[in-house]
Amino acid sequence: MSEKYELDERAQILLRQLIKSYTRDAQPVGSKSLAEKSGLHVSSATIRNIMAKLEDMGLVDSPHTSAGRIPTEAGYRFFIDSLLEVDNLDREARQTISDSFSTEMTSSDLIHSASDILSRITHLTGIVSLTHHNPTEIRHIEFMKLSDRRVLVILVINQDEVHNKVIHVERDYTDLELHQAAQTLGRYLLGRSFEDARLRLQEELSDLRNSVNDIMPRVLDAMHEVCQDSASDELVTSGESNLLEYAELSDINKLRDLFNVFNEKTDLLRLLDGCTSADGVEIFIGRESGYSVLSDCSVVGAPYQINGEIVGVLGVVGPTRIAYEKVIPVVDITAKLLTSALNTQK
């Protein structure tokens, strides 16, 4: 997108300085300020002429209330594609991110930790999607008797996901009956995907004891619900309240619509899915996302992997004036460290 703009060195310096100043202060930047901070030994008139040309190109804009200028989406895109110098992540920040992951954590804990650390370091909203699951494998099943003809079904699926579901049964079961039923079902279920296990159970239903026949339909319903939830796309978010700090997002209607996006998740999941083929960090600025509710926001994302397969994307959501040179390395290293942690779990 940026190759259509041909900017000489002075114009590039001024655009870079304007974006740096606007990122910090959220105020339109005037020619006098640019003359003082850019290091260019030229007159204010020359700077005004250059800024006028940048405005004609659509890289900057002049708000009606100010003589200063602000960057446009096209200006940010040119800056990111052609002018951005990404900061090296300092050792302390890198260590902080690394310390937030542990091989003792479950996969779910690691994903939540990634979202949280992204939010805390960038002061934006951290987001992590989990978009591609392997088939759900059943690792353990156990029944626990409750009152009023209710039974707690305890399921462990995949590597370490524990799910509890309460089912209602037609009669009272003894602890021994429930233990035997779990053992019998386990022979059909454990180590298999849910779909494979269900097909085998249906084929051999007549061979099972009556006690298992009685409880099995409700167990299968509970397992289907668990496995369906596990196989669906997930989105974990942290630090939504950080966006309250940015004046351009403080309009109550904008915030309500933005928070609805976080709650409903579908649009963000679709957007993040576009990062799964990215080689490193992908950035959507304003309307590039394709969603009007994100027109004042940028999304910076990077994919992470398990066993060489991309299984999701993590990143941040913030205003378009975020400090890209600082945010990009945080997202990049977090994706790499999350990948490492997921692949070295005990």
CB 2 within 8 A of CB 11: no
345: helix, coil or strand? coil
How far lies 69's CA from each of 6, 44, 65, in Å?
Answer: 20, 14, 10
Q: How many CB atoms lie within 10 A of CB 343?
A: 13
Distance of CA 213 to the CA centre of its chain: 43
Q: Is the pLDDT of residue 230 over 80?
A: no
pLDDT in tens, 104-130: 888 888 999 999 999 999 999 999 998
Per-residue pLDDT tens digits for 176-189: 888 888 887 787 77
Question: Could you tell me where the DSSP H helices lie in 79-193?
Answer: 91-99, 107-122, 175-189
Mean pLDDT over residues 78-84, rounded?
A: 95
Confidence class for position 231, pLDDT limits 50, 70, 90: very low
Higher pLDDT, 228 or 266: 266
- Residue count of the chain, please give it: 346
Strands 70-71 and 161-168: unpaired
Residue 246 belongs to what H/E stretch? none
pLDDT of 2-25, one tens digit each?
457 889 999 999 999 999 999 999
| Mean of the per-residue pLDDT values of the chain | 85
Helices 44-57, 9-25: inter-axial angle, 10-degree rounding: 80
Exposure string for 209-230, b = 16+ CB within 10 A, e = fewer: eebbebbbebbbebbeebbeeb
Taking the C-alpha atoms of residue 21 and residue 18, their distance in angstroms, rounded to an integer, is 5
pLDDT band at 207 (very low <50, low <70, confident <90, very high): low
- Strand segments, DSSP code E, in the chain are 60-61, 70-71, 125-130, 138-145, 150-157, 161-168, 234-238, 282-285, 297-306, 309-319
pTM over cut 0.85: no
Place of tokens 């937030």: 100
CA 275 to CA 36: how far, in whole Å? 39
User: Positive or negative, the Cα torsion across 278, 317, 312, 334?
Assistant: positive
> Rounded to 5, what percent of the chain is helix, strand, coil?
55, 20, 25
Q: What is the pLDDT of residues 51-70, one digit of tens each?
A: 999 999 999 999 876 678 99
User: Per-residue pLDDT tens for 288-304?
Assistant: 999 999 999 999 999 99
Q: In whole angstroms, how far apart are CA 196 and each of 151, 153, 188, 202, 274?
A: 24, 19, 9, 10, 31
Q: How confident is the model at residue 250 (pLDDT cuts 50, 70, 90)?
A: confident
Give me the mean pLDDT over the 164-191 stretch.
83
Q: What is the DSSP string of 28-60?
A: -B-HHHHHHHS-----HHHHHHHHHHHHHHTSE
Domains and CATH numbers, the chain: 2-83 (1.10.10.10), 91-131+233-343 (3.30.450.40), 138-231 (3.30.390)
202 pLDDT above the threshold of 50: yes
Q: How many other CB atoms sit within 10 Å of the CB of residue 63?
A: 11
